[in-house]
């Protein structure tokens, strides 16, 4: 099942949000995302959070119109977004898209990127998407779909990685990427798909939409 999670960072535009809702089986709102859903007249299946940033009127309206509301304590050992990802994993998700996961709170943005690793370790495809980028992680070989001319960056998240890839402008043939280096930034797709192989740990893969 495909789950869409709208987190409480920079809100996506209505068009982007609705395009992902159309393809989702379950829609989850995290805390302040309740205000975005209310603004666009959308009722998610689930709202989860301590709601310290949400308008109580918006939360109540969505609950009255069918949203399941899961209220968390403000003092806890995980973010509201991590709780939402956990809920999706426990509920049978096999594909998760997270919107609103980036923005002014860099600490939350970085934490949300770590959620990609948690999902992948659970065997679930998970991506963070905003207006400018799509982020994913991998520690193995996979096929990356994109557009000719699209910028692709591969950054090591753990230790030293060995990376190979096809159909990229700058060849990657068992290239060593070391954590703390920018060596994997700004490659370019020459075809609409690239086979990327990663060994030695996890890499963050970023597709940039600005030139696609």
Using DSSP's 3-state secondary structure scheme, residue 14 falls into helix
pLDDT of amino acid 178: 92
The alpha carbon of residue 4 and the mean position of all alpha carbons in its chain are separated, in whole angstroms, by: 10
pLDDT of amino acid 52: 92
One fold for 2-131 and 138-208: no
Q: Domain boundaries in the chain?
A: 2-131, 138-208
The CATH code for residues 2-131 is 3.40.50.10240
Going by C-alpha positions, the residue among 47, 35, 42 that lies closest to residue 21 is 42
Domain 138-208 classification at class level: mainly beta
Using DSSP's 3-state secondary structure scheme, residue 28 falls into strand
pLDDT of amino acid 212: 47
Could you tell me where the DSSP H helices lie in the chain? 14-21, 33-40, 56-64, 80-90, 106-121
pLDDT of amino acid 211: 60
| Integer Cα distance of 55 and 117 in angstroms | 31
Low-confidence ranges of the chain (pLDDT < 50): 212
Q: Are 57 and 32 in contact (CB under 8 A)?
A: no
């Amino acid at each position: 099942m495909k789950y869409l999670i709208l987190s409480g960072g920079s809100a996506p535009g209505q068009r982007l949000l609705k395009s992902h809702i159309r393809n989702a089986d379950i829609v989850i709102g995290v805390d302040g995302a309740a205000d975005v859903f209310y603004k666009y007249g959308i009722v998610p299946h689930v709202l989860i959070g301590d709601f310290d940033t949400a308008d109580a009127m918006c939360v109540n309206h969505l609950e009255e119109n069918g949203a399941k509301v899961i209220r968390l304590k403000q003092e806890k050992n995980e973010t509201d977004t991590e709780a939402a990802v956990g809920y999706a994993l426990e509920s049978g998700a096999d594909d998760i898209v997270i919107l609103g996961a980036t923005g002014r709170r860099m600490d939350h943005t970085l934490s949300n990127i770590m959620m990609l690793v948690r999902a992948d370790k659970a065997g679930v495809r998970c991506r963070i998407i905003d207006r400018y980028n799509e982020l994913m992680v991998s520690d193995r070989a996979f096929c990356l779909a994109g557009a000719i001319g699209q910028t692709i960056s591969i950054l090591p998240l753990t230790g030293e990685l060995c990376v190979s890839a096809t159909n990229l402008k700058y060849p990657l043939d068992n290239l060593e990427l070391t954590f703390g280096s920018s060596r994997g930034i700004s490659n370019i797709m020459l075809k609409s798909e690239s086979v990327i192989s990663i060994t030695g740990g996890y890499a963050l893969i970023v597709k940039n939409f600005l030139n696609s």
